[in-house]
Structure 1
Amino acid sequence: MLTFVGLGLYDLGDISVKGLDYVRNADAVYLEAYTSRLMGADVSEMEAFFGKEIRVLAREDVEQDPHEIIERAASGQVAFLTGGDPMISTTHADLRIRAAAAGVATSIIHASSISSAVSGLSGLQNYRFGKSCSVPFPARGWFPTTPIETIAKNLELSLHTLVYLDIQKDRYMRIPEAITILEEMAEKCGIEPPTLYVGIARAGSENPVVRAGTGAKLKETDFGPPLHVLVVPADLHPMEREYLEVFADL
């Protein structure tokens, strides 16, 4: 059995009772650490909390060579840990499909996700979100503009956009940097840059930071340590505007 276990948003207190019970009784525990991370707990703390040795997986371990995971799940109980909710990332869906093709039973233990937490923290109504996008760190000779194009299409439809920020092995994109990159993308594409953003830092922690305003305002805002996420709102409903005024300093 291969069970995908969501860890929630920030620390070890976010896992469900069901998930905790499964991990503590699993024969093997893997942690996917490239799509999201718990910033409130490191691997050693997780191992002490669960009472289990944890193997940390890189992207290639899951997407290119998941044979070990599937083989162990064919003969025992395997917990595959992910930050947030397990099935938000397509790479996890692909692993579940591969396991099913190999005749391995699978299950999912859900947890809180940033895709739902942003609505609670920002007050932006969840049914008004369009397609999400991710802003990657630019590389030499590579500067994709898909994120700003996605935002522009959503704005045309009066839909909000959830913008995920890049996570790499040794660095995390911050909100000011993401806004600068989006503005550069907009200039390159001849698109008007967004006039309003909502920045959220450390969702799920005791003291998340939520701020709304222009790009210039948020680039001067100290959001503190990662993880950060960004939202580009469409035209605001009066209740959304009031919520942002009360809770996000709009």
Structure 2
Amino acid sequence: MFYLIGLGLGDARDISVKGLEIVRRCEEVYLEAYTSILTCGAEALEELYGRPVTLADRETVEQGLDSVISAAGERDVALLVVGDPFAATTHHDLVLRARERGVPCRVVHNASIMTAVGCCGLQLYSYGETVSIPFWTDDWRPDSFVERIDANLARGQHTLCLLDIKVKEQSVENLLRGRKIYEPPRFMSVSVAAAQLLEAVGGRAETDPGLTPASRVVGLARVGTDTERLVACTLREMAGVDLGPPLHSLVVVGNTHPMELDYLKQFELGSDAKDTGKAKEGETKADQASS
């Protein structure tokens, strides 16, 4: 059996009881470390689960986890996924690959940013299409995500922006030369995302339709953890906000219900309540320094 098991958004303890029972009886356990990252190390998983955990990096995932799926045809194998297994289309492909080979597959769900984003107070049924914002380079600066944000805003809908992560990436030179040398991991912050969005909308006036520098946005960091941070402000202001370590997400606010507005007030830039009601002593010194 091939198991896809969601780990949730916090730490090793966020796995469901059902998921934990399955992991403890599987002969092989892998951690998908490409589409997202854990706030704790794999060692914490091994300690709690009582099983060795093997990292499935970018190369392994992009090759379709062929060896992992093949092994699942003979024994119980679990692939652990941060958040929910179906929050990334990569994992739909894995299920299809398993079924094509006649390998039975079972999915154990968990919380993902797609639903946990409700912590900012904007109602989930009021969100439109989710967009991804990639890191720009000197010669690659896509901005099609702005069109989709504009379309959501035209319908009065909020937009969840998933921010880029770069793990085990190679430079163009090393890739061309076939050198297995990888760049340091990079995780897009809300300030970088806001800066790219500001550049993408160019000289739009605040009264123009669609996304503008004055558009209301919410920055979210480390959702589901003890150091969760949320800040609500304008897009222009968000470019100067530091929410500390990853992972970050950004929401562009559409039309709001009065209750949504009341909820957002506690996260307004400069508000004493912007730490989402969690005890400040729960933050790490590094997080406090970055506030």
TM-score for both structures, normalised by structure 1: 0.93
In the alignment, the residues of structure 2 paired with residue 60 and residue 84 of structure 1 have an alpha-carbon distance, to the nearest angstrom, of 20
Q: 1:45: Cα distance to partner? A: 1.9
Task: Determine if contact 2:204/2:212 at 8 Å carries over to the other structure.
Answer: no
Task: Determine if contact 1:145/1:189 at 8 Å carries over to the other structure.
Answer: no
- 1:23-59 alpha-carbon deviations (Å, 9 max, x no partner): 11111111111111111x1012222222222221123
Equivalenced residues, count: 248
Show the counterpart of 2:80. 81
Q: Which amino acid aligns with 1:48?
A: E
**What aligned pairs does 1:101-112 form with structure 2 within 5 A after superposition?**
101-112=100-111
- 1:1-44 alpha-carbon deviations (Å, 9 max, x no partner): 111000000211211111111111111111111111111x1012
**What aligned pairs does 1:65-144 form with structure 2 within 5 A after superposition?**
65-119=64-118, 121-144=119-142
**Greater Cα radius of gyration, structure 1 or 2:** 2
Choose 178-187 or 42-51, whichever is displaced more. 42-51
Q: 1:171: Cα distance to partner? A: 1.2
1:32 aligns with 2:32: yes
- The unaligned stretches of length 5 or more in structure 2 are 168-184, 272-291
Q: 1:178: Cα distance to partner? A: 0.6
Q: Which amino acid aligns with 1:93?
A: H
Show the counterpart of 2:150. 152
In the alignment, the residues of structure 1 paired with residue 145 and residue 10 of structure 2 have an alpha-carbon distance, to the nearest angstrom, of 25
**What aligned pairs does 1:205-244 form with structure 2 within 5 A after superposition?**
205-244=225-264
- 1:61-100 alpha-carbon deviations (Å, 9 max, x no partner): 2232422011110011111111000111000000000100
Percent identical among aligned pairs is 41
In the alignment, the residues of structure 1 paired with residue 225 and residue 44 of structure 2 have an alpha-carbon distance, to the nearest angstrom, of 17
1:178 aligns with 2:176: no
In the alignment, the residues of structure 2 paired with residue 94 and residue 177 of structure 1 have an alpha-carbon distance, to the nearest angstrom, of 30
Task: Determine if contact 1:6/1:111 at 8 Å carries over to the other structure.
Answer: yes
- 1:119-169 alpha-carbon deviations (Å, 9 max, x no partner): 1x1110111111101111112321111211111111011111000011112
Task: Determine if contact 1:6/1:81 at 8 Å carries over to the other structure.
Answer: yes
* Cα distance change on mapping 1:69 and 1:215 into 2, 3 Å: same
In the alignment, the residues of structure 2 paired with residue 181 and residue 19 of structure 1 have an alpha-carbon distance, to the nearest angstrom, of 39
Q: Which amino acid aligns with 2:45?
A: M
Task: Determine if contact 2:26/2:77 at 8 Å carries over to the other structure.
Answer: yes
**Partner SS, residue 251 of structure 2:** strand
* Cα distance change on mapping 1:188 and 1:96 into 2, 3 Å: farther
In the alignment, the residues of structure 1 paired with residue 34 and residue 63 of structure 2 have an alpha-carbon distance, to the nearest angstrom, of 14
**Partner SS, residue 197 of structure 1:** strand
1:11 aligns with 2:30: no
In the alignment, the residues of structure 1 paired with residue 143 and residue 238 of structure 2 have an alpha-carbon distance, to the nearest angstrom, of 21
In the alignment, the residues of structure 2 paired with residue 65 and residue 129 of structure 1 have an alpha-carbon distance, to the nearest angstrom, of 31
In the alignment, the residues of structure 2 paired with residue 182 and residue 70 of structure 1 have an alpha-carbon distance, to the nearest angstrom, of 39
Of the two structures, which has the highest relative contact order with CA contacts closer than 8 Å and spacing of 6 or more? 1
Residue of structure 1 aligned with 2:220, choices 200, 203, 209: 200
Choose 232-241 or 207-216, whichever is displaced more. 207-216
In the alignment, the residues of structure 2 paired with residue 146 and residue 239 of structure 1 have an alpha-carbon distance, to the nearest angstrom, of 32
Q: 1:207: Cα distance to partner? A: 3.2
* Cα RMSD for the two superposed structures: 1.8
* Cα distance change on mapping 1:248 and 1:206 into 2, 3 Å: farther
Task: Determine if contact 1:122/1:248 at 8 Å carries over to the other structure.
Answer: no
Q: Which amino acid aligns with 1:143?
A: R
